[in-house]
């Protein structure tokens, strides 16, 4: 078991969210569902804590009620290998959610994600500061990251 596990607080959608998230990534699965009993505080039989893995990384989702909600102060960063992966995840995660900027979005549960192609990191680390700066400027004008737009900007096109 990993030493540190991210724990996510949901109102009452923990199991639904875990099922959705595990459908998006390879090497993902629900590991365990602990359910409320007759003693509550949630309705008996409903999920209390759902333990799941996304791409081999363990998470827990708690149905803790409406006392707390997600903010952009925490987000899940996805390192994408291609524009196709960016496009697919962006479409699925913004369905019922909302786009933000610079590769950020909120899913239908209010959790923030960064859907970032590896090429952005490479361009931002370019040894030529002017090239990296042009890539940064292009990224700041994007919602979903478009790799070709970044490359074109970095190349001064």
| Site of tokens 């699965």 | 29
Tally of domains within the chain:
2
What pTM, to 2 d.p., does this model score?
0.93
User: Which helix (H) or strand (E) is 138 found in, with range?
Assistant: helix 129-140
One domain, residues 100 and 112:
yes
Q: How far apart are CA 90 and CA 87, in angstroms?
A: 5
One domain, residues 108 and 50:
no
Supply the CATH number for residue 17's domain: 3.30.720.100
Supply the CATH number for residue 142's domain: 3.10.180.10
Where a domain ends, among 30, 50, 69? 69
One domain, residues 97 and 132:
yes
Could you give the 3-state DSSP secondary structure of residue 6? Answer: strand
Domain span at residue 107?
70-157
Tens digit of each residue's pLDDT, the chain (157 residues): 789 999 999 999 999 999 999 999 999 999 999 999 999 888 999 999 999 999 999 999 999 999 999 999 999 999 999 999 999 999 999 999 999 999 999 999 999 999 999 999 999 999 999 999 999 999 999 999 999 999 999 999 8
One domain, residues 91 and 39:
no
């Amino acid at each position: 078991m990993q030493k540190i596990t991210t724990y996510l607080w949901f109102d009452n959608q923990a199991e639904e969210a875990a099922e959705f998230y595990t459908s998006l990534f390879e090497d993902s699965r629900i590991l365990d569902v602990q359910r409320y009993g007759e003693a509550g505080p949630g309705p008996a039989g409903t999920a209390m804590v759902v333990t799941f893995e996304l791409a081999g990384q363990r998470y827990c989702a708690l149905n803790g009620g409406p006392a707390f909600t997600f903010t952009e102060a925490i987000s899940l960063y996805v390192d994408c290998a291609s524009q196709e992966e960016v496009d697919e995840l962006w479409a699925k995660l913004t369905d019922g959610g909302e786009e933000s900027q610079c590769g950020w979005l909120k899913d239908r549960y209010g959790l923030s994600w960064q859907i970032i192609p590896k090429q952005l990191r490479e361009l931002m680390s370019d040894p030529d500061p002017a090239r990296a700066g042009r890539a940064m400027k292009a990224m700041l004008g994007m919602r979903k990251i478009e790799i070709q737009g970044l490359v074109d900007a970095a190349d001064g096109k």
